[in-house]
Structure 1
């Protein structure tokens, strides 16, 4: 096979490394931005209800968004220079430690960069330099960010789930996802309503909430991307992944207080499985696994 065949995927992988570095920022900052916004809204609402003016801050809060401030060490506040922010390379050169305080840097940062690079390379290898590949790269990056945000915070932000849902519907309309618009639309409807129904049945029976509304939206988004036919294999695969991870966490005593594990990362894992192997082969493999 000619080396030129791998040139486009390799370039896509390099772009994926850079995008993965940005994803690390999104994963860390987006939940904090949302929490700050919610706190401000609550303060304004409380002031309106009590008839009191919102206390004026003598010093405006520093800007905090996806671009500002520059990346820094979370332990000592050291602002990273550009050469300390090169994807993967900087982590290896620094030996996984902050150059100022020598605090260990989580290996998840380079792993996110490498995984994003691999996903981008896979999409371009499969679809070439086409709109389809760009769309699936966006799908992969968004799904990865959602999985890690949910794992860290148990949040699945509408800022990501809803654009992912609409992108799947638009991709189906343009013929870029390999799923017809009708199958995509019913996949979104079926994905949302199925988990919504399970949520309310569980709550009525136990008085507890078994999942969040973000799970409904994420499942709806996956239905939009892969069609209604993929809903069963996706939920089966997410259950298998969740069971394996839950057992492993219990064995190594890593379960969180109350034994709660967010479901979003497992839905995302099933989404990646459908992306790589296809919903049809995934379903056949799962049915064979369960002897059906």
Structure 2
């Protein structure tokens, strides 16, 4: 990373380009991972109960993962070429339409690419070019994927949350994370147990599930990255923003109060803020209001 000291502009530029490229891949992850998980569940059910038919009508048995098959237009089945898959640029050149059938391409794809680039750039502007910054960029990518999967499917896959948690602990073990190993482990434990306790208290009182187990695991992962001391900040911020957004949805969309909504995105946003600015915010609060 010595070259960055001579050309400091390379660091944010590289982070932005990387964000665009990874953002394109995250679109694939967000769409395909839930389908892959559902197919795996169906196969496991079929193996356990062969007398029942769990196969889907559109499941041909062909390989389906994050690399195959090639991305195609959902309207005309046109295979997307490499030139048509350049992050953000291709969508702009094609004017948001398929080259073959001219059907509109969802604005969400370039939006996620742009969001990922902005988040990567933000990390580069906040953190110096260290291995911790590289790790935070990777964590940001995982949080983006979790956010949109939860919005779409109300699902936080273990395939992302658990590696994210262990990555936070591993970074503490090898000394890259500013969080000590003790704080990271306690943070992971406290993150999981705090929401787990709320879940069971709510269930005992109302006989209803207040949240999913994926939320426990996501907060455990965030706790491993920020330590136990910032968990109250993460929970309070995510709860506050979630409550505000919930009220807005009730007022604008006319949804029923019993309508479930995803809590993972608010945890992800609060966790990301805590990773970048949590300690300065905590120090400001302690010095301003507690006088320490």
TM over 0.5: yes
1:101 aligned to 2:101?
A: yes
1:7 aligned to 2:10?
A: yes
**Aligned mates of 1:115, 1:3 — CA distance in 2:** 28
Shift in CA distance, 174/126, structure 1 to aligned 2, threshold 3 Å? farther
Shift of residue 31, structure 1, vs aligned partner? 0.3
Describe how 1:273-288 pairs up with structure 2 within 5 A: 273-281=273-281
| Corresponding residue number in structure 1 for 2:210 | 210
Describe how 1:21-32 pairs up with structure 2 within 5 A: 21-32=24-35
Shift of residue 6, structure 1, vs aligned partner? 2.0
**Aligned mates of 1:128, 1:218 — CA distance in 2:** 26
Describe how 1:27-106 pairs up with structure 2 within 5 A: 27-47=30-50, 61-106=61-106
Runs of 4+ in structure 1 over 4 Å off: 52-55, 254-258, 282-286
Shift of residue 131, structure 1, vs aligned partner? 1.7
Shift of residue 73, structure 1, vs aligned partner? 1.4
Stretches of structure 2 that go unaligned for 5 or more consecutive residues are none
Shift in CA distance, 151/60, structure 1 to aligned 2, threshold 3 Å? closer
**Aligned mates of 2:238, 2:157 — CA distance in 1:** 19
**Aligned mates of 2:85, 2:67 — CA distance in 1:** 14
- The alignment yields a C-alpha RMSD, in angstroms, of 2.7
Shift of residue 257, structure 1, vs aligned partner? 9.2
TM-score, normalised on structure 2? 0.88
Stretches of structure 1 that go unaligned for 5 or more consecutive residues are none
**Aligned mates of 2:73, 2:137 — CA distance in 1:** 29
| Corresponding residue number in structure 2 for 1:131 | 131
1:140 aligned to 2:136?
A: no
Contact conserved, 1:12 with 1:117, CA < 8 A, in 2? yes
Shift in CA distance, 257/68, structure 1 to aligned 2, threshold 3 Å? farther
Describe how 1:234-273 pairs up with structure 2 within 5 A: 234-253=234-253, 255=255, 258-273=258-273
Shift in CA distance, 110/256, structure 1 to aligned 2, threshold 3 Å? farther
| Corresponding residue number in structure 2 for 1:19 | 22
| Corresponding residue number in structure 1 for 2:168 | 168
Contact conserved, 2:12 with 2:121, CA < 8 A, in 1? yes
Shift in CA distance, 53/90, structure 1 to aligned 2, threshold 3 Å? closer
Shift of residue 40, structure 1, vs aligned partner? 0.7
Shift of residue 216, structure 1, vs aligned partner? 0.3
Shift of residue 74, structure 1, vs aligned partner? 1.9
Contact conserved, 2:46 with 2:54, CA < 8 A, in 1? yes
Could you report, residue by residue, the CA deviation over 1:31-65 in whole angstroms, capped at 9, with x for unpaired residues? 00000000111111112xx5x9999xxx9611110
Structure 2 SS opposite 1:97: coil
Structure 1 SS opposite 2:210: coil
Structure 2 SS opposite 1:156: coil
Shift of residue 85, structure 1, vs aligned partner? 0.5
Shift of residue 201, structure 1, vs aligned partner? 1.0
Contact conserved, 2:187 with 2:223, CA < 8 A, in 1? yes
Contact conserved, 2:126 with 2:276, CA < 8 A, in 1? no
